[in-house]
């Protein structure tokens, strides 16, 4: 049951991911990206990381992507026109893609030997309490550093935007 | 009886009750607004317009279903579907009552209890924005687009104070499962003040309750925050181009969101299905008393009829009320009906507040709405959360 669900949602995630690139209209790309986020949340749920799944939907699908869609609607971005592709991309694109996939598969195989396959239902530390405890004890310093980093990024964005206005 | 069949029965019952409530909520809203404005409201279809929802449904189904040209068809059809689905799903985690026995099986009066229940409801409601935003964009109409834009901006802004207001009682109750949230609010201080979140020590969550309620008005696009569908400037906002059942889907989504938000407020702040005062002090006889009183009034008007037909209709209504009063005394049904009564009373009271405010307040201007969210609601919610966290850390 778990494996079937995993295959279904993994397939949806991949198809939506490809669709993000293939679609010419920005709104369609954004919708496909929401599909990717949603199926990723289901994959997290299948693996037992329920808190992460909920946060994935709330933050990425519910907040970040709403902002994306909002901006696309506000700018009223139209259909993108496909530019003529370079000869190099036409000839080498697909072989290079397969070479890249092969490299990825090779490194994944060598870094994670077959004895350590992922099994559904083995991971039990995904509840809100577990994540909170980990964040505020073991990973306290990285967590706080990241929050300061995000604050700096926000301030930087405000400063840059104000320069444009003046 | 196996788990699957039991879940199926519960799902069917909940869906049926929810959809009927949605249909009649609209009748209640029209009646209450009408009485606030000193007019009778719907009166023609059935006694006191009681069959009006049925007539509306027939009207909406049989109307011409028009898809305007030059729209993006897929998204245009997807939008009402998303809106109504996301609005209806949340009810599946709301607890209506405690454990009951059906045909020898122990079960809870709740479809399912997730240990991330609160986050689940927040996630579903945050995805619901797409229904409105996409409807506005896909309609290819400037009024729709403005309505969709306003709605997405408004919902992002008010989601922050809403989430912060939810976080504060969670600090007190220390769980994310909605069933456990209600269970941790049981008990009484001094024998009569309930342990509900809004009264619970060390930090009564009254501020969170008010912030949550205000943000909930904005999240459900109700007056005074109904700018996405402000009819004097935007025709009908995001659903201008929708007709027939697709329009009805948006309508249903709006009312369903209202029910969900009120049920969530009840669960988080008002103790869910728990009674206001202990059963030892007679809270279990309250529904019986209410129905007896209502029956007595109906009987009195039946005995002193103003119109000729009152002599027959009012006694019939009185008999219905007396039967209801007796049903609440049957020991077998009581365990299931009393929690349901308290849950329905609290949720219904909040729904009445929603309608009451619609009949009372004017609409905000758009800049006022945004300034209110970011300059008032958000700081207050943050301070409230910090104070709660401090008090919880000090005293418990």
- Label each residue of B153-183 as H, E or C: HHHHHHHHHHHHHHHHHHHHHCCCCHHHHHH
Q: Is B367 within a domain?
A: yes
Q: Is B124 within a domain?
A: yes
A74·B149 Cβ contact <8 A? yes
CA distances from B177 to A30, B106, B113, B188, B327 (A): 32, 19, 7, 22, 32
Residues A24 and A76 grouped into a single domain: yes
Name the closest residue on chain B to residue A35, using Cα atoms: B127
**pLDDT-derived band at A142, boundaries 50, 70, 90:** very high
Which are the contacts of B110, defined by CB distance < 8 A and separation ≥ 6?
A: B93, B94, B95, B96, B97, B178, B179
**pLDDT-derived band at A11, boundaries 50, 70, 90:** very high
B114, B123, B149 member nearest A73 (Cβ) = B149
Interior/surface letters B155-170, b for 16+ CB within 10 angstroms, e for the rest: bbbbbbbbbbbbbbbb
Q: Do the Cβ atoms of B164 and B381 come closer than 8 Å?
A: yes
Closest CA to B30 of B9, B6, B69, B56: B56
Window A:111-140, CB contacts with B under 8 Å: 127-128
Is the predicted pLDDT of residue A107 greater than 70, yes or no?
yes
Residues A76 and A87 grouped into a single domain: no
Q: Is A120 within a domain?
A: no
pLDDT of residue B137: 83
Q: Is B4 within a domain?
A: no
pLDDT of residue B250: 86
B156·A63 Cβ contact <8 A? yes
B123·A62 Cβ contact <8 A? yes
State both tokens at B251: 């309508």
Q: Which residues of B touch A27 (CB under 8 A)?
A: 72, 75, 134, 137
Closest CA to A58 of B348, B139, B124: B124
**pLDDT-derived band at A118, boundaries 50, 70, 90:** low
**pLDDT-derived band at A148, boundaries 50, 70, 90:** very high
Q: Is B282 within a domain?
A: no
Q: Is B360 within a domain?
A: yes
SS3 label, residue A45: helix
B176·A128 Cβ contact <8 A? yes
Residues A77 and A89 grouped into a single domain: no
Structural domain count, chain B: 1
Is the predicted pLDDT of residue A145 greater than 90, yes or no?
yes
Q: Is B356 within a domain?
A: yes
- Beta bridge partners, B193, equal B189
pLDDT of residue A15: 92
Interface A–B counts its CB contacts (< 8 A) at 72
Give the integer Cα–Cα distance in Å for B229 and B240. 9
Give the integer Cα–Cα distance in Å for B372 and B362. 15
Give the integer Cα–Cα distance in Å for B236 and B24. 22
State both tokens at B230: 């402000």
Residues A146 and A163 grouped into a single domain: yes
DSSP H/E element including B194: strand B193-194
pLDDT of residue A165: 62
Which are the contacts of B51, defined by CB distance < 8 A and separation ≥ 6?
A: B45
- Chain Cα centroid distance, residue B90: 11
Please tell me the number of Cα atoms within 13 Å of B227 on its side-chain side. 20
Name the closest residue on chain A to residue B137, using Cα atoms: A73
Write the pLDDT tens digit of every residue in A25-56: 888 888 899 889 989 998 888 888 888 888 88
Mean pLDDT of A80-101: 80
Residues A77 and A6 grouped into a single domain: yes
**pLDDT-derived band at A146, boundaries 50, 70, 90:** very high
Q: Which residues of A touch B159 (CB under 8 A)?
A: 62-63
CA torsion sign for B186, B192, B198, B200 is negative
Q: Give residue A150's domain range.
A: 125-166
Is the predicted pLDDT of residue A150 greater than 90, yes or no?
yes
Give the integer Cα–Cα distance in Å for B71 and B59. 25
Q: Which residues of A touch B116 (CB under 8 A)?
A: 50-51, 53-54, 127-128
Q: Is A21 within a domain?
A: yes
DSSP H/E element including B106: strand B105-108
Tell me the CATH number at A20.
1.20.120.1200
A73·B137 Cβ contact <8 A? yes
- How far is A54 from chain B, CA to nearest CA, in Å? 6
Q: Which residues of B touch A51 (CB under 8 A)?
A: 116, 119
Q: Which residues of A touch B75 (CB under 8 A)?
A: 27, 31
Instruction: Using a CB–CB cutoff of 8 Å, tell me whether B148 touches chain A.
Output: yes
Q: Give residue B386's domain range.
A: 64-274+330-395
Closest CA to B118 of B171, B49, B50: B171
Q: Is B96 within a domain?
A: yes
Q: Is A26 within a domain?
A: yes
Instruction: Using a CB–CB cutoff of 8 Å, tell me whether B127 touches chain A.
Output: yes
Residues A32 and A47 grouped into a single domain: yes
In eight-state DSSP terms, residue B90 is: G
Instruction: Using a CB–CB cutoff of 8 Å, tell me whether A62 touches chain B.
Output: yes
Q: Do the Cβ atoms of B194 and B273 come closer than 8 Å?
A: no
Q: Is B354 within a domain?
A: yes
Window B:60-99, CB contacts with A under 8 Å: 72, 75
Q: Is A109 within a domain?
A: yes
Residues A95 and A28 grouped into a single domain: no
A25, A66, A127 member nearest B129 (Cβ) = A66
Which are the contacts of B287, defined by CB distance < 8 A and separation ≥ 6?
A: B325, B328, B337, B338, B341
pTM: 0.85
The one-digit pLDDT tens for each residue of chain B (396 residues) are 677 888 888 889 888 988 888 888 889 998 999 999 998 888 888 778 888 888 888 888 888 888 888 777 888 888 888 888 988 888 888 888 777 777 767 777 777 888 888 888 888 888 888 888 888 888 888 888 888 888 888 888 888 899 899 988 888 888 888 888 888 888 787 777 888 888 877 778 888 899 999 998 888 888 788 776 777 777 777 777 787 788 888 888 888 989 999 999 999 888 888 888 777 777 778 888 888 888 888 888 888 888 888 788 888 888 888 888 888 888 777 777 888 888 899 999 999 999 999 888 888 888 888 888 889 999 999 999 999 989 888 887
Instruction: Using a CB–CB cutoff of 8 Å, tell me whether A66 touches chain B.
Output: yes
Q: Which residues of A touch B72 (CB under 8 A)?
A: 25, 27
Q: Is A119 within a domain?
A: no
Residues A94 and A71 grouped into a single domain: no
State both tokens at B56: 């509306």
A61·B127 Cβ contact <8 A? yes
Structural domain count, chain A: 3
Q: Do the Cβ atoms of B380 and B58 come closer than 8 Å?
A: no
- How far is B246 from chain A, CA to nearest CA, in Å? 20
Residues A60 and A76 grouped into a single domain: yes
CA distances from B55 to B23, B27, B33, B118, B243 (A): 11, 11, 19, 37, 16
Residues A20 and A77 grouped into a single domain: yes
Q: Is A131 within a domain?
A: yes
Residues A88 and A76 grouped into a single domain: no
A34, A54, A127 member nearest B123 (Cβ) = A54
Window A:3-42, CB contacts with B under 8 Å: 25, 27, 31, 34, 38
Q: Do the Cβ atoms of A46 and A2 come closer than 8 Å?
A: yes
Q: Is A16 within a domain?
A: yes
Residues A162 and A105 grouped into a single domain: no
Is the predicted pLDDT of residue A116 greater than 80, yes or no?
no
Q: Which residues of A touch B176 (CB under 8 A)?
A: 128
pLDDT of residue A99: 92
pLDDT of residue A114: 67
């Amino acid at each position: 049951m778990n494996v079937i669900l995993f295959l279904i949602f993994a397939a949806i995630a991949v198809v939506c991911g490809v669709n993000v690139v293939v679609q010419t209209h920005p709104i369609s790309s954004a919708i496909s990206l929401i599909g990717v986020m949603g199926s990723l949340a289901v994959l997290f749920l299948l693996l037992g990381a329920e808190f992460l799944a909920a946060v994935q939907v709330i933050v990425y699908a519910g907040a970040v992507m709403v902002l994306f869609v909002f901006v696309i609607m506000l700018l009223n971005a139209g259909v993108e026109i496909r530019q003529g592709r370079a000869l190099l991309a036409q000839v080498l694109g697909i072989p290079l893609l397969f070479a890249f996939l092969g490299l990825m598969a090779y490194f994944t195989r060598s870094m994670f030997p077959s004895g350590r396959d992922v099994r559904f239902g083995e991971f039990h530390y995904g509840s809100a309490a577990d994540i909170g405890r980990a964040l505020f004890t073991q990973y306290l310093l990285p967590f706080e550093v990241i929050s300061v980093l995000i604050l700096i990024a926000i301030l930087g964005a405000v400063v840059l935007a104000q320069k444009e206005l003046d | 009886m196996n788990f699957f069949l039991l879940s199926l029965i519960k799902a069917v019952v909940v869906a049926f009750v929810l959809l009927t409530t949605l249909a009649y909520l609209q009748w209640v809203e029209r009646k209450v607004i009408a009485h606030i404005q000193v007019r009778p409201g719907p009166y023609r279809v059935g006694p006191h317009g009681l069959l009006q929802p049925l007539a509306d449904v027939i009207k909406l189904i049989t109307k011409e279903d028009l898809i305007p040209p030059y729209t993006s068809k897929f998204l245009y059809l997807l939008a009402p579907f998303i809106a109504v689905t996301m609005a209806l799903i949340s009810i599946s985690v709301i607890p209506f009552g405690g454990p009951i026995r059906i045909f020898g099986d122990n079960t809870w009066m709740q479809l399912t209890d997730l240990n991330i229940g609160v986050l689940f409801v927040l996630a579903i409601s945050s995805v619901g924005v797409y229904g409105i935003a996409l409807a506005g964009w896909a309609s290819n109409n400037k009024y729709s687009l403005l309505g969709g834009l306003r709605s997405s901006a408004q919902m992002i802004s008010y989601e922050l104070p809403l989430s912060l207001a939810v976080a504060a009682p969670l600090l007190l109750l220390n769980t994310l499962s909605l069933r456990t949230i209600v269970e941790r609010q049981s008990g009484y201080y001094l024998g009569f003040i309930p342990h509900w979140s809004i009264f619970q020590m060390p930090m009564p969550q009254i501020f969170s309750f008010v912030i949550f309620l205000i943000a909930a008005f904005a999240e459900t696009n109700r007056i005074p925050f109904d700018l996405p569908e402000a009819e004097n400037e935007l025709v009908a906002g995001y659903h201008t181009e929708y007709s027939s059942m697709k329009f009805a889907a948006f309508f249903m989504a709006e009312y369903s969101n209202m029910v969900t938000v009120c049920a969530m407020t009840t669960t988080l702040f008002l103790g869910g299905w728990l009674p206001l005062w202990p059963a030892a002090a007679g809270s279990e006889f309250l529904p019986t008393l209410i129905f007896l009183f209502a029956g007595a009034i109906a009987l009195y008007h039946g005995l002193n009829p103003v119109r000729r037909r009152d002599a027959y209709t009012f006694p019939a209504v009185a008999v219905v009320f007396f039967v209801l009063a007796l049903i609440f005394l049957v020991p077998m049904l009581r365990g299931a009906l009393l929690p349901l009564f308290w849950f329905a009373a609290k949720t219904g009271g909040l729904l009445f507040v929603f309608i009451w405010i619609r009949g009372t307040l004017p609409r905000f201007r758009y800049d006022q709405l945004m300034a209110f969210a970011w300059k008032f609601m958000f700081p207050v919610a943050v301070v409230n959360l910090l104070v709660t966290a401090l008090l919880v850390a000090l005293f418990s």
